[in-house]
Amino acid sequence: MISTPNLDKLFSPRSIAIVGASATLGKIGAMPVTLLQSNGYTGSIYPVNPRATEIQGLPCYSSLSKIEADIDLAIIAVPASHACEALEQARPGQIASAVIFSSGFSETGDEGHQQQLRLQTLAKERQIQLLGPNCLGYMNLRENTYATFSPAPLGGIVAPGSIGMVTQSGAFGAYAYCMARERGLGLSFWISTGNESDVDVADCISWLVQDPHTQVIMAYMEGCKNGDKLKDALSAARKASKPVVITKIGRTQSGAVAAASHTAALAGDDAVYDTLFKQYGAIRAHTIDEFFNIGHALSVWNKAPAISSLGIMSISGGVGALMADEADENELLLPQMPDAMQERLLKRIPFASPRNPVDVTGQAITDPGVFIDTALDMLEAGSYGALTVFLAAAGSSEALWPHIQNFARTLQDRYPDTPLALCALLPPERRHELEKLGCLTFSDPSIAIRTIAAILKRNRSQPPAVIANAAKTIIWPEGNGTLNETDSLRILKQAGVPVVPFDIVSSKSAASAAAAQINVPVVMKIISPNILHKSDMGGVKLNIQGADSVGRAYDEIMASAAEHAPNAQIDGILIAPMVPNGVECIMGMHRDPVFGPVIMFGLGGVFVEILKDVSFRLAPFSKQEALEMIHETRAVDLLKGARGRHPADIDAIAEGLAALSQLAHLTDGLIDSIDVNPFIALPAGQGAMALDALVIRKSSS
Amino acid sequence: MISTPNLDKLFSPRSIAIVGASATLGKIGAMPVTLLQSNGYTGSIYPVNPRATEIQGLPCYSSLSKIEADIDLAIIAVPASHACEALEQARPGQIASAVIFSSGFSETGDEGHQQQLRLQTLAKERQIQLLGPNCLGYMNLRENTYATFSPAPLGGIVAPGSIGMVTQSGAFGAYAYCMARERGLGLSFWISTGNESDVDVADCISWLVQDPHTQVIMAYMEGCKNGDKLKDALSAARKASKPVVITKIGRTQSGAVAAASHTAALAGDDAVYDTLFKQYGAIRAHTIDEFFNIGHALSVWNKAPAISSLGIMSISGGVGALMADEADENELLLPQMPDAMQERLLKRIPFASPRNPVDVTGQAITDPGVFIDTALDMLEAGSYGALTVFLAAAGSSEALWPHIQNFARTLQDRYPDTPLALCALLPPERRHELEKLGCLTFSDPSIAIRTIAAILKRNRSQPPAVIANAAKTIIWPEGNGTLNETDSLRILKQAGVPVVPFDIVSSKSAASAAAAQINVPVVMKIISPNILHKSDMGGVKLNIQGADSVGRAYDEIMASAAEHAPNAQIDGILIAPMVPNGVECIMGMHRDPVFGPVIMFGLGGVFVEILKDVSFRLAPFSKQEALEMIHETRAVDLLKGARGRHPADIDAIAEGLAALSQLAHLTDGLIDSIDVNPFIALPAGQGAMALDALVIRKSSS
């Protein structure tokens, strides 16, 4: 666990100096002075500009050092070339934190990067916390702290609220600010991190987790340099039950290329981010609308239960079916109402469809009581995580508005924790009125359902299982680099990954003796660090049975090795039983440069090779997580015994994966990669085992 | 080609009688009288109600027959039980068409269904065109014909425009009307078809294709009973270059179940609708928002080129990458600007990213000329089907609005046919102003890109190839039911599907002679209608070479048959060459109850069995279409030679599929199903061939 920096002085300053403050309204250096003053910031404001004595009615200082007081936050609004200098002019210890608006740093190439390093060094020496450079700054909305030069607040202020927003991109951030205003969302903080020379998105998430006014965190990321910090921040958010919705760019090939040309440091594989968010309970949003829909919904439906099923009520059977389509695609279940309640509805509306979707038909418009009673019946049944109601054009009816209001009030009074979504076209003031009752409105019922699904189905389980200590005592062979097959298998075995029982023999008689022990047909394989394509040179023999045959095979393999690789170091011949009729799986570990060891699982052959049908998890993880990982592959039906096949021992695969993940975690930094191929899943109840493995240790550097 | 009924009197009536007209405002029978009068319908209006002499200022008639004039359209707004009677009271020939608002017909069960049949019979006898029953009626917006009881127009009228809208569901229709109003869309027609006892969605599409004011058709469907009519309607729309966007419910298991409980007749497999829409150039929308986004965009960007590539310009590199992600997922290409143009941009904005996405950076805000020049450069390059621009918060700036307007005007003047999407938050009046220039705005850039992708990538190719006559002369074996393997292969061969060369022999000597002719290892298989599991009873021998071995195999197979199936009818033994190293494919035909023969393609083994990795097309189709069909499967990489495999003869597979589709089309009604499994694709250039096939003829009924 990395300790979270205390960012109080940066994000809740009682004194702010603006270096490069300007009297010309609209200029970058004028904007924070304007915004702080006009919005009622109650701390001290010190404009700094050597060419002015007064700015926007405040006395102006020629440099930071001329200010007698210590300063919680210095805003740097001068060109990059003068930014360091401005801070240097302050007294050591005078400045606790700084927001650097200036661009012209790392984002512009080598020279700028040098400038940024200089800035970082200075800040470190003087223990100044930095936000930026090349950022739009931030706003603390409850304390009216506008440490930003974005003109967005000039178009109207966002109300203080429970959503903390942090974005790496200033342009995205400004747009998001405007969208929040348009949608009527309330923000606690709005932070843009820019080049992240010091404080990054993860730090801000951790800060927002600690902020009592923030209940939901919305984050926009372009990349991450410190994976552990991000993991900790997301863990803390989950622990505090503050959900996080994240948009991260670069989820496709084209997007990744564009992101790489945009961000200095491209960080890791996008699939790894995907699994990170999944494992740590963050919800990933792929579009700006989704980002806002989910963020907004989380702030209203903050106590939504973890029940992945939906109740649908509609005055149109057709649209009810359209909603069922969307629920199905989002893997929400649609359990039916209990029979008695179905009968009650049919008594009142004979041509209703009382299952789920419940179609109350257009007739219900003439009897709004049916709406309430049916909805209450549905919620009383208790099997729905949320309720979605399609009102069609009746939702915009003036005459029906009091009924709609009453409907929302009654339901939310009785079931305050159950998300209620009304699908109707309503003017903003009515939407807000319903929202105050805890009910969100959507014009598109499919979007309502997608949003609900994201919220109900988010991973709220606790962090990965604590790791057993057993694997810590792994005995390593000498040397470094690539381990041979038997050493690799031994490492796995020590870590609790099941491996095929095997012997290494160095003589014909030992071979025969070993085979006799095994007593079923065996495979024999030459073990040598110098022979890569063993089959091609006669180094592998399959399905050998009986002492004579085994002895003969031993001689043949050795002869073949002597002929084809006379100088090879021969470590012996591996003898192992032939493993019958299992399903070939592959598991592996590689190190992500940002997030550390990543475990991969897939089925052998075309599944991995052609279909790239694999799933990932960050190590370490539990058996439960491993089971989900297996079920994420399309090929899982093969393991489950599709089309009359034997079901495979999925449990044993999951245990193997979890053990591999613990090995990867505990040896992090020692191993570059592990390949277990094939990992054979035997029929259910009979286990699974690695037949071959390759462990590559970190090359000593 | 089914002849399209002339619906002039129904949809463009000069006289309208309202049976069940009411003086009580808001009642179903009052609504059309109110709407027709208040919106300036210029034809004659005849209220009919035996209990009134005047309604809403118009003389009222006690029955239709009391009206002297002939009536183009009778609106029936009385309970279901009186609907028939009302029409019967008219003089034969007096009424040309009728809209039946009344519910209580087929949608309510058997009794209602009988009512509906009675209505249909009467209408047929009297040649009255029927819309409904159980429908909301329709509106002809240009002629102010409000033959509806939906109160939606009371909330505000939708302007006449170029979009024709037809929906099976009234509730959906009313909602869609309100959405069109809210989004400022113009409609030519708004039609709700309800139970479709006569006129259905397909008829309405055909009508809208002929309507000179309609340029775009938006259709909402729950099911289709007459596939040929829908095919013809979509063909006509494509021929007339009037794009169709369709939402159809029931695309998932849950949705299909809900749809089945809602619509009386469940029609066909949803995958068949999917391929129908694809083949006939209709765009399928999955949500209401998508339906409107695409419909709206088609009406503005009606001349969008068929170029599947996109230019992206952004003032945020991050959001540019987010847009690239969306483009990638929607299979739009992102070609770069020519070098010279990239250099020109870099001279003005050194830290711009001049590739595509083009990141003009926040600096461009201070120099709006950069925007226009860069966008013009991009369009001049000529490789973009559309241009999407993200303006972030600058898009909402008052100060920049004139520049934005100028930007849109300049681009659309110079490149009027290239869709231009601006991503910004704008008030409705500004959105409409830009729309008049041909530029659409979106708050979410990802939605902009999805919409553009749907439009650029829609299938605009002409209808399926005309069929050769050759297959018409197919010679059928006698009898009916399931054909044996050799007869099945012969049918395929006659249709031009390549099959393995084979012989049927009935003696040991003939077997040896046949094998000698083939001169490579052969497969031998017993042919009998009574032996299903041939391998299990020793009826199949693989890899036999040489006259002696072949003769011995002949005897063994016959002996085995005599032992295991002494009473079986033996049609001979098939001898065919063993086919080496191909990729196993499967193709097949089944008849959809609504849309006729459907061809399926997939790869053998796990691909079809476990992964359901198959694609479909309605027969007949061209080789080009077959190629697309093959490329739709995830396993296509295997055929293309992934991971060092030999590329397979994809061309030959496509030819086989097209031939199969022609066979299916020409024998429609004669064959229930065809299975070709395996269909072996040999290495590229070496062809493909069916090794086994099963043709099941339609059982004579």
Q: What is the Cα gyration radius of chain A?
A: 32
User: What pLDDT is stored for residue B578 in this prediction?
Assistant: 92
pLDDT tens-digit readout, A532-555: 788 888 899 999 998 889 999 999
To the nearest whole angstrom, how far is the Cα of A384 from the nearest Cα of chain B?
A: 16
What is the DSSP secondary-structure string of A303-341?
T--S--BEEEEES-HHHHHHHHHHHHHTT-B-PPPPHHH
CB contact at 8 A, A249 and A477: no
To the nearest whole angstrom, how far is the Cα of A471 from the nearest Cα of chain B?
A: 36
Are residues B393 and A178, on separate chains, in Cβ contact within 8 Å? yes
Q: How confident is the model at residue B265 (pLDDT cuts 50, 70, 90)?
A: very low
B448: nearest CA partner in chain A:
A287
A170: nearest CA partner in chain B:
B316
Q: How confident is the model at residue B260 (pLDDT cuts 50, 70, 90)?
A: confident
Are residues B446 and A287, on separate chains, in Cβ contact within 8 Å? yes
Chain B residues in contact with A170 (beta carbon < 8 A): 316, 362
Residue A393 is nearest to which of B175, B326, B607, comparing CB atoms? B175
User: Which of B266, B606, B613 is the mutation pick for testing A, counting most A CBs within 10 A?
Assistant: B606
B87 alpha carbon, distance to own chain's centre:
37
Q: How confident is the model at residue A529 (pLDDT cuts 50, 70, 90)?
A: confident
Percentage of residues of chain B with pLDDT beyond 70: 97
Which class is B304-456 in CATH? alpha beta
To the nearest whole angstrom, how far is the Cα of A356 from the nearest Cα of chain B?
A: 8
Residue B569 structure tokens: 């009818």
Q: Is B19 left (phi over 0), alpha (psi -120 to 50) or beta?
A: beta
Chain B residues in contact with A251 (beta carbon < 8 A): 325
User: What pLDDT is stored for residue B466 in this prediction?
Assistant: 56
The residue written with tokens 């998430």 in the block is A205
pLDDT tens-digit readout, A133-169: 999 999 999 999 999 999 999 999 999 999 999 999 9
* Overall average pLDDT of the B171-175 stretch: 96
Q: Is B200 left (phi over 0), alpha (psi -120 to 50) or beta?
A: beta
Between chain A and chain B, the number of residue pairs with CB atoms below 8 A apart is 252
Residue B325 is nearest to which of A150, A220, A249, comparing CB atoms? A249
Chain A residues in contact with B328 (beta carbon < 8 A): 252-255
Q: Is A79 left (phi over 0), alpha (psi -120 to 50) or beta?
A: beta
To the nearest whole angstrom, how far is the Cα of A116 from the nearest Cα of chain B?
A: 16
Are residues B643 and A317, on separate chains, in Cβ contact within 8 Å? no
Contacts of A455 (CB under 8 A, 6+ apart): A243, A283, A294, A297, A298, A301, A304, A386, A419
Are residues A249 and B108, on separate chains, in Cβ contact within 8 Å? no
Give the angle B684-B688-B689 at the CA atoms, nearest 5°: 165
User: Which of A107, A610, A636, A646 is the mutation pick for testing B, counting most B CBs within 10 A?
Assistant: A610
As a residue count, chain A comes to 701
Chain B residues in contact with A638 (beta carbon < 8 A): 606, 610
User: What pLDDT is stored for residue B386 in this prediction?
Assistant: 98
Are residues B635 and A326, on separate chains, in Cβ contact within 8 Å? no
Give the angle B66-B69-B72 at the CA atoms, nearest 5°: 110
CB contact at 8 A, A221 and A184: no
In 10 A of CB A6, how many CB atoms? 11
User: What pLDDT is stored for residue B3 in this prediction?
Assistant: 65
Residue A169 is nearest to which of B172, B318, B350, comparing CB atoms? B318
Residue B445 is nearest to which of A150, A288, A643, comparing CB atoms? A288
Are residues B171 and A322, on separate chains, in Cβ contact within 8 Å? no
CB contact at 8 A, A99 and A131: yes
Query: Mean of the per-residue pLDDT values for chain B?
Result: 92
User: What pLDDT is stored for residue A266 in this prediction?
Assistant: 44
Residue B150 is nearest to which of A152, A351, A393, comparing CB atoms? A393
pLDDT tens-digit readout, A364-377: 888 889 999 999 99
Q: What SS3 state is found at B360?
A: coil
A229 alpha carbon, distance to own chain's centre:
13
What CATH number has the domain spanning B8-299?
Answer: 3.40.50.261
Query: Mean of the per-residue pLDDT values for chain A?
Result: 92
To the nearest whole angstrom, how far is the Cα of B501 from the nearest Cα of chain A?
A: 30
Cα–Cα distance for residue pair B5/A692, rounded to 1 Å: 71
Give, in order, the Cα–Cα distances in Å from A449 to each of A222, A294, A442, B357: 28, 11, 10, 32
Residue A622 structure tokens: 């539990």
In chain B, where are the structural domains located? 8-299, 304-456, 501-577, 583-697
The residue written with tokens 């009973």 in the block is B225
Residue B262 is nearest to which of A249, A359, A607, comparing CB atoms? A359
Helices (H) and strands (E) in chain B, counts: 23, 29
User: What pLDDT is stored for residue B644 in this prediction?
Assistant: 81
To the nearest whole angstrom, how far is the Cα of B575 from the nearest Cα of chain A?
A: 30
- What is B583-697's CATH superfamily? ATP-grasp fold, B domain (3.30.470.20)
Residue B316 is nearest to which of A150, A172, A287, comparing CB atoms? A172
pLDDT at A264 > cutoff 60? no
Are residues B425 and A182, on separate chains, in Cβ contact within 8 Å? yes
Are residues A255 and B324, on separate chains, in Cβ contact within 8 Å? yes
CB contact at 8 A, B576 and B558: no
Range with lowest mean pLDDT among A517-531, B176-190, B239-253: A517-531
Residue B249 is nearest to which of A321, A329, A609, comparing CB atoms? A321
The answer to whether the bond into A133 is cis (omega within 30° of 0) is: yes
To the nearest whole angstrom, how far is the Cα of A181 from the nearest Cα of chain B?
A: 11
Chain A residues in contact with B256 (beta carbon < 8 A): 321
A332: nearest CA partner in chain B:
B254
Chain B residues in contact with A634 (beta carbon < 8 A): 610-611
Residue A392 is nearest to which of B171, B247, B396, comparing CB atoms? B171
CB contact at 8 A, B387 and B448: no
Residue A393 is nearest to which of B177, B446, B643, comparing CB atoms? B177
Q: How confident is the model at residue A481 (pLDDT cuts 50, 70, 90)?
A: confident
pLDDT at A434 > cutoff 60? yes
pLDDT at B288 > cutoff 70? yes
To the nearest whole angstrom, how far is the Cα of B302 from the nearest Cα of chain A?
A: 25
Asked if the domains at A8-299 and A303-456 fall in one CATH topology, the answer is yes
Contacts of B9 (CB under 8 A, 6+ apart): B72, B73, B96, B97, B129
Residue B621 structure tokens: 């189709």
Residue A321 is nearest to which of B259, B334, B443, comparing CB atoms? B259
pLDDT at B268 > cutoff 90? no
Give the architecture (CATH level 2) of A501-577: 2-Layer Sandwich (3.30)
Are residues B322 and A444, on separate chains, in Cβ contact within 8 Å? no
Chain A residues in contact with B222 (beta carbon < 8 A): 318, 321
pLDDT at A471 > cutoff 60? no
The residue written with tokens 């002679």 in the block is B513
pLDDT tens-digit readout, B672-700: 999 999 999 999 999 999 999 999 998 76
* Overall average pLDDT of the A284-303 stretch: 97
Are residues B325 and A155, on separate chains, in Cβ contact within 8 Å? no
Are residues B169 and A396, on separate chains, in Cβ contact within 8 Å? no
Q: At what angle do helices B339-348 and B368-381 cross, to 10 degrees?
A: 180
Extended strands (E) in A546-595: 572-577, 583-592
Are residues B254 and A319, on separate chains, in Cβ contact within 8 Å? no
Q: How much of chain B is helix, strand and coil, in % rounded to 5?
A: 40, 20, 40
Looking at residue A391, its amino acid is L
Secondary element (H or E) of residue B120? helix B110-125
Tell me the CATH number of domain A303-456, given options 3.30.1540.20, 3.40.50.450, 3.40.50.261, 2.60.120.380.
Answer: 3.40.50.261
Cα–Cα distance for residue pair B298/B451, rounded to 1 Å: 9
pLDDT tens-digit readout, B175-212: 999 999 999 999 999 999 999 999 999 999 999 999 99
Percentage of residues of chain A with pLDDT beyond 90: 80
Are residues A288 and B443, on separate chains, in Cβ contact within 8 Å? yes
